[in-house]
Structures are given as structure tokens and as C-alpha cells.
Structure 1
Amino acid sequence: MKVHECVSFLLVNQDKQVLLEKRALTKASDPGLVAIPGGHMEADETQLQTLVREIDEELGVQVTSGQYLCSLYHPTSELQLLHYYVVTQWQGTISAHEADSVFWSSIAAAPIDCSADKTALSEYQRLSSAGVI
């Protein structure tokens, strides 16, 4: 089975809330689910290039600070390898360009439907409490 690499991004605000999306029902992968935003890497694109492009396409903002978190497999309509990044600084006003909606949630009570996203949030909490992130 072919692996499709993607970059997902945990936008974390000053109140330690994470930005989540309600995926559009027309999406091929995980339609209608609540998830961490992200998207597919394009050919010859680095993870960081994908991060910058996808945040702009999905939310209309520009990354000013991002840090790699972890990579996890996510079997959906295709096998995805999700590379997660934590973004704590950005410029611009967040708006939903591709999802039905975006909203802030406490990290501990995030209503995420995707198990890989839940694991990534747990990893963020673990590393954050240890002072690594």
C-alpha cells in the first residue's frame, strides 16, 4: 500500500488551547470528522514547506514559529503518515478556507475523532509538561 505523507499542525494559543477543524463532508479523507488541520505533501516539498503552504491554504495565516512534534500513521481512505508540528506564533486572522469550521478547544477535552490526532495531542501534553516544548 502506498503511503501518503501529510503535515498536520497544532496551533496552540496563549491560553493553551488547540485549533481544531470540522472537516467538510466533501473531503475524501475523514469527511465530517473533528481533526487537527493539515494536508498532503506535494512532490519534492519538504515538511516545513508543506507546513507553511497548508497553514496558508487552510487558515489564511503565516507561520512565524513552528516545531516538529512527532509522526504517526493514520489509516483512512488511504494510508497517511502524518508529520505533526506545533505552531505557537502566526500572523494574520484565522479563518476556515477548506474546512466547514475551525474552533478553539482545551487540549485536555479536545473532541477529536481521529486516533492519530489524539495520540499527537497526548504527546504534546507529555512534552509540554516536561518543558521540552
Structure 2
Amino acid sequence: MEVHQCVSFLLVTSDQVLLETRTMDKASDPGMIAIPGGHMETDETQKQTLARELEEELGIRALNSQYLCSLYHPTSELQLLHYYVIFEWHGEIQSLEAESVNWYPIGNAPVAVEADRLALKEYQRLAAVLGKFSDC
């Protein structure tokens, strides 16, 4: 089975994370609440995908980002999701591709995708161990 590389991003402020409600016409996970992200294009790096997807999905630019983890997500295709954490960004957050975007408490974020739940738990684990998750 072909693996489709994707980049997902956790925008974090205080103890809140920004999640999207996906539109019903999406091929992967329609209508679900999920961490935003998108597919990597041919010859694109993870950081290039991150920058492009932030602009396409939310109309913002990251001022910093930190790699978190990579997890497989079997959906209509097998995806390998590379998660990044973003604490600072430039621009006003807009919902340009999703039905909506909303802030949720990290501890009980209503994500429907198991990989997203694991990524949020990994963020919480590292934040507890390090005292504060930040650029290393």
C-alpha cells in the first residue's frame, strides 16, 4: 500500500489547541474534528508543506515551529502524519478550507482521529516532562 506523507499542525495558546471541523466533501475524514494539515507535494520538505498548508488552510505564517512526532493514519489511504507545534504566528486565523476552526482545551479536545489523540497526548507528555514544550 502506498504511504501518503502529510503535515499536521497544532496551534497552541495557553492550554488550548486549534482544531478544524472538516467539510463533508473531503475524501479523508469528512465531517470529523481534527488537527489541521495536508498532503506533501512531490519534492516538498515537511517545513515547506507546513508553510504552504498554514497559508492555504488558515491564512497565517508560523513565526516558529517545533517537530513533535510522526504517526500513521489509515483512512481512505494510508497517511503518515508529521506533527508540528506552533506557538506564535503572523496573521489573523481564518477557516479557508474547513467548515470551521475552533479552540479547544488540549486535555479533552474532541478529535475523532486516533493519530490526533496520540499526538495531543505526546504533546502533553513532553510538556509535563520538559516543564514547557518549546524549540530545542
Name the TM tier (shorter chain): over 0.9
Give 1:106 shift.
0.3
CA–CA separation in structure 1 for the residues paired with 2:81 and 2:118: 11
In the alignment, structure 2 segments of 5+ residues that lack a partner are none
TM-score (norm: length of structure 2)? 0.96
State the AA in 2 paired with 1:34: I
Query: Secondary structure of 2:27's partner?
Result: coil
Structure 2 residue 82 is the aligned partner of structure 1 residue 93: no
CA–CA separation in structure 1 for the residues paired with 2:53 and 2:75: 19
Question: Could you say which residue in structure 2 is the equivalent of 1:3?
Answer: 3
Query: Secondary structure of 1:130's partner?
Result: helix
Deviation string, structure 1 residues 13-51 (Cα, Å, up to 9, x no partner): 1x2200000000000000000000000000000000000
Give me the CA root mean square deviation: 0.7
State the AA in 2 paired with 1:32: G
Question: Could you say which residue in structure 2 is the equivalent of 1:105?
Answer: 104
Deviation string, structure 1 residues 65-122 (Cα, Å, up to 9, x no partner): 1000000000000000000000001000001000000000000010010000000000
Q: How many residues are paired up? A: 132
Query: Secondary structure of 1:126's partner?
Result: helix
In the alignment, structure 1 segments of 5+ residues that lack a partner are none
